[in-house]
Amino acid sequence: MRYNTLGNTDIKVSSLCLGTMTFGGQNSQAEAFDQLNYATEQGINFIDTAEMYAVPTSPKTYGDTERIIGHWLKQSGKRQDIVLATKVTGPSRIKHIRHGKARLDKNNIQEAIEGSLKRLQTDYIDLYQLHWPDRNTNFFGSLSYQHKKDAIETPIEETLYALAELVESGKVRAIGLSNETAWGAMKFLQIAEQLNLPRMVSIQNPYNLLNRSFELGLAEVVHREQLALLAYSPLAFGTLSGKYLHNAKPENARCTLFREYKRYFTPASIQAIEKYDVLAKKYNINLTQMALAFVNQQSFLTSTIIGATTIDQLQENISSLDITLENQLINELELIHQEHTYPSP
């Protein structure tokens, strides 16, 4: 396992981070414990979750992922060995989250952190992230930005002051962004500097062979501003494992169970996956591990967030660290990318 510094902090995180949104949904507590034990045995010290997990979010499973992790932390006694990250829900009408009035204002953030601390059975969070922006912008695959002059938005200053209180109280060590744009990342950094408030240290955004939009703007931001990229969805909802090719619907797979996850099933995406699959076979490499290795090798990456529903999948994901893609293979990847530049947003 390799370890990297989280932004401009002194926190060291493993280059693979265990994503947990299936815990309490597709995965039972026992299965989650198996994953947590195996991941930490392999050197992973970084665990990512969110108050709204399990996914898909529902009143029945809201907060269950954090609860399971909390039980594991208590049982294992490994809290001091873990860099624990969670997220506060952005603006939402999801009724079971603060009565459908979730925002990134002071009251919501204070209520959210107390709930997370209780469920996780800890008195501090290492990295507290804003799950998505509190303004009208593009995230979760949305395109064609349309400015809404009169949109109701929580001022970034208010959000930062609320987070500063958590840092000053010791409840949070560092703060980060998620599903954020280049403008948003720079604005948070600018305002924090102007007001002498804690600066964002990370950004958790999607990055994979089907969605390399991070390379436009944000890659430069993370390099120049010491902002750590935590890349999520490196396998594009599992489509880059190849398991959904030829209209396959694997039993108990996420996109079989939850048909609403269509983001990476565009005709262009399917064509691209087919070509990446052929390329992987040409080089006698597993498609899953090729896709993960591509993400792992990016110079602007701090940690790749991997998720699994079985131990076999988790083992396969972690072993991607042993693979280095040779230059000729990367050149051929780029040719496919040029032909299918952004098949999925």
Question: Is 78 within 8 Å of 84 (Cβ atoms)?
Answer: no
DSSP string across 179-229: S--HHHHHHHHHHHHHHT-PPEEEEEEE-BTTB-GGGTTHHHHHHHHT-EE
Instruction: Give catalytic status of residue 283 as yes or no.
Output: no
Bridge partners for 46 per DSSP: 83
Q: How far apart are CA 295 and CA 15, in angstroms?
A: 11
Q: How far apart are CA 163 and CA 171, in angstroms?
A: 10
Distance of alpha carbon 14 from alpha carbon 304, whole angstroms: 9
Return the SS3 of 88: strand
User: Which residue type occupies 185?
Assistant: A
Kindly report the length of the chain.
Answer: 345
Q: Helices marked H in the chain — which ranges?
A: 29-41, 64-76, 106-120, 156-169, 182-195, 218-225, 254-257, 267-282, 287-296, 311-318, 327-339
Q: Give the angle subtended at the CA of 14 by the CAs of 330 and 80, to the nearest 5°.
A: 170
Q: Cα–Cα distances in Å, from 330 out to 12, 198, 230, 280, 316?
A: 29, 38, 22, 11, 21
Q: Determine the Cα–Cα distance for residues 126 and 239; give it in Å rounded to an integer.
A: 31
8 A C-beta contact, residue 22 and residue 52: no
Residue 312 buriedness (CB in 10 A; 0-12 / 13-18 / 19+): exposed
Q: Which two three-digit tokens encode residue 328?
A: 């000729």
53, 207, 232, 276: which is the annotated catalytic residue? 53
CB-side exposure of 328: number of CA atoms within 13 Å?
4
Active site positions, annotated: 53
